[in-house]
Amino acid sequence: MRWRVKISGVASWLMLGLCLAVMLSGARADAYQQDQAGFGPTSPGVSSIVIDAATGDVIAQHGADIPRYPASLAKLMTLDLAFQALRDGKTTLDTMIPVSYHAASVEPVKLGLRPGSSISVRDAILAMTTMSANDAATALGEYLGGGSEARFAQMMTLRAHALGMAQTEFYNASGLPDPNQVSTARDLAILARNIVIDYPQFQPFFEVEKFNFRGEEVYSNNGMLKLYPGTTGMKTGYTDLARHNLVTTAQRDGRVLIGVVLHEPSWGASYDQMTAMLNSGFDGPFNPPDTAVAAAAPVAQPYQAPLRLARATRPQFHTRGIWADQLGMFHHIGSARVEAMNVHNMHGIGTPRIARIEQNGHVIWNAQLADLSLGAAYQTCDEVSARGDKCRVIPADSSHVAMVVASDLGT
C-alpha cells in the first residue's frame, strides 16, 4: 500500500506538470494568435508615427497603438527622470553614482563597469545617448530609485502614465527584455516630445557622436545623426523580439518633427523609413496654426504642453510681412528652438526661425519669429518684453543675424 501511495504521489506531480505545460502552451498559443491578429508585441508589420513637436499634431501614423517591446527606447524614460532630477537640483552632472554588482552584470551592450566602482551622472547619460550602455542605465536607475531598479521602474511607469502614455509599462531602466515591458509608437512620441519641450538644456546630449570615457572613445550608434541633415537625436533600440526601433527628432527652418518606427527588420529599413517619414512631414502640405485647424487629433489629450495656447487669443490683424522679432542668442539649439516656438504659439503667427552662428570660436543659436507685418512684429515684441524677455523688431533679412551682439545671449 505504501508503494501505491508513492506511485500515486508521483503520478499527481506528473499530472500537475502536464496541466501546467498545457496551460503554458495555451498561453503561448494565445500570444501567438494575438500577434498574428496584429495586436501583440511581435505581431507582423511595423508601427510608426510622426508628429509636430510644437503642436503635438499627428502628421502620419501606422499601427501606432500596437503594443511593442521598446528595447533600449526605454532609456528615454530613464533619461527623462534624470533630466527632471537635474532640473530640480536633486543631483548634478558631476555627482558620482555607485555601480552595483547587478548593474555591472547586465547583458551587453555596456561600458564594462566594475562592481564597486562609480560613474558620473554626465558619463552615464552620455553612455546611454551614444552607445546605449545597459550597465550605465541600470546604475543610473538604481541611483534615482534609491538603490532599487524595481522601485525606479515603478517611477518610470508612473511618469509614463502621467504624461498620457496609457499603454506603456516599464520593468527596468535599460530596456533589456521583459515580457511585460511594452510601449507604443504613439506613447514613445509623447515621451520624446516631453523631452524636447521640457528639457531643451539637455538637447546636446542627443547630438553627441562620440565622447571620451576613461581614455577610450565611445561612439554613437545612431546613424541618423550622419544620414539625415537636421537630425538632433534621439535613440535607437534593438532586441531579437523587439527588432529594430528608432526615435528621431529633426528640425528644418525652425520646425521640429518627431518620428518613431518600431519592429523594423533591419537598421537600413529603419533609417529609410524614418527618412521618408521626415521628408514627407517637412515637405508635404502643412497648415500653420493661424490659418487652419489641423485635421489630426493631438498625440495625447491628458498631456498639455506649455507651448500650446488657446486659439481665441490670436490677434485680428494682418500678420504677414517682411519683418521679424529678434528673440535672442542661445548656447543650446533646444533653448533657441523652444523660445521661437513659444513666441510663435502666443498668437500662432509668423515663422519660427533658428540659425547657427559661430562667434569667437563658439557655436551659438539665433532665434527669430519672421514673416511678420510691422504692426504684428511690434505687438508681439511688446508682449515678449512685458514678460521680461528680450525682443527687438528687425527687417527679416539674414544679414541682420550677424549684427546680434553677445549681450543678447540667453540660457
Domain boundary among 268, 283, 298: 283
Q: Looking at the structure, tell me whether residues 156 and 267 fall in a common domain.
A: yes
Q: Looking at the structure, tell me whether residues 247 and 325 fall in a common domain.
A: no
Q: Looking at the structure, tell me whether residues 236 and 353 fall in a common domain.
A: no
Q: Is residue 8 part of a domain?
A: no
Domain boundary among 237, 258, 283: 283
From the list 132, 174, 183, 335, the catalytic residue is: 132
Domain boundary among 235, 258, 283: 283
Residue-level pLDDT, tens digit, the chain, 411 residues: 333 333 344 344 334 343 434 333 333 344 444 554 456 899 999 999 999 999 999 999 999 999 999 999 999 999 999 999 999 999 999 999 999 999 999 999 999 999 999 999 999 999 999 999 999 999 999 999 999 999 999 999 999 999 999 999 999 999 999 999 999 999 999 999 999 999 999 999 999 999 999 999 999 999 999 999 999 999 999 999 999 999 999 999 889 999 999 999 999 999 999 999 999 999 875 443 332 222 222 333 222 232 223 222 322 333 445 778 888 888 888 788 888 888 888 888 888 888 888 767 778 888 888 888 777 777 888 888 888 888 888 775 543 443 333 333 333
How many Å separate Cα 190 from the centre of its chain? 8
Q: Is residue 299 part of a domain?
A: no
Tell me if residue 75 is catalytic.
yes
Q: Looking at the structure, tell me whether residues 256 and 382 fall in a common domain.
A: no
**Burial label, 267 (beta-carbon count in 10 A; 0-12, 13-18, 19+):** middle
CATH number at residue 399: 3.30.70.1070
Q: Looking at the structure, tell me whether residues 337 and 211 fall in a common domain.
A: no
- CA torsion sign, 267 to 109 to 153 to 42? positive
Q: Which domain holds residue 394?
A: 318-408
Q: Is residue 95 part of a domain?
A: yes
Q: Is residue 26 part of a domain?
A: no
Q: What does the H/E/C string look like for 285-298?
A: CCCCCCCCCCCCCE
Tell me if residue 210 is catalytic.
no
Q: Looking at the structure, tell me whether residues 272 and 176 fall in a common domain.
A: yes
Residues 6+ apart with CB under 8 A from 374: 321, 323, 393
CATH number at residue 82: 3.40.710.10
Structural domains counted in the chain: 2
Q: Is residue 376 part of a domain?
A: yes
Rounded to an integer, what distance in angstroms lies between the CA atom of residue 365 and that of residue 336? 6
Q: Looking at the structure, tell me whether residues 247 and 332 fall in a common domain.
A: no
From the list 43, 47, 48, 75, the catalytic residue is: 75
Q: Which of 195, 169, 157, 193 is nearest to 68 (CA)?
A: 169
Tell me if residue 220 is catalytic.
no
The helix or strand, by DSSP H or E, that contains position 5, with its residue range, turns out to be helix 2-36
Q: Looking at the structure, tell me whether residues 132 and 260 fall in a common domain.
A: yes
Q: Is residue 223 part of a domain?
A: yes
Instruction: Cite the DSSP H helix spans in 211-258.
Output: 224-227
The amino acid occupying position 264 is: E
Rounded to an integer, what distance in angstroms lies between the CA atom of residue 162 and that of residue 367? 31
From the list 43, 47, 48, 72, the catalytic residue is: 72
Q: Is residue 66 part of a domain?
A: yes
Q: Looking at the structure, tell me whether residues 276 and 324 fall in a common domain.
A: no
Q: Looking at the structure, tell me whether residues 260 and 323 fall in a common domain.
A: no
Rounded to an integer, what distance in angstroms lies between the CA atom of residue 141 and that of residue 103? 9
Q: Between 134-144 and 149-163, two packed helices, what is the crossing angle to 10 degrees?
A: 80
Grid cell 494565445 is found at 30
The amino acid occupying position 119 is: I
Q: Looking at the structure, tell me whether residues 245 and 360 fall in a common domain.
A: no
Q: Looking at the structure, tell me whether residues 356 and 276 fall in a common domain.
A: no
Tell if the pTM clears 0.85, that is, is over it: no
Q: Is residue 142 part of a domain?
A: yes
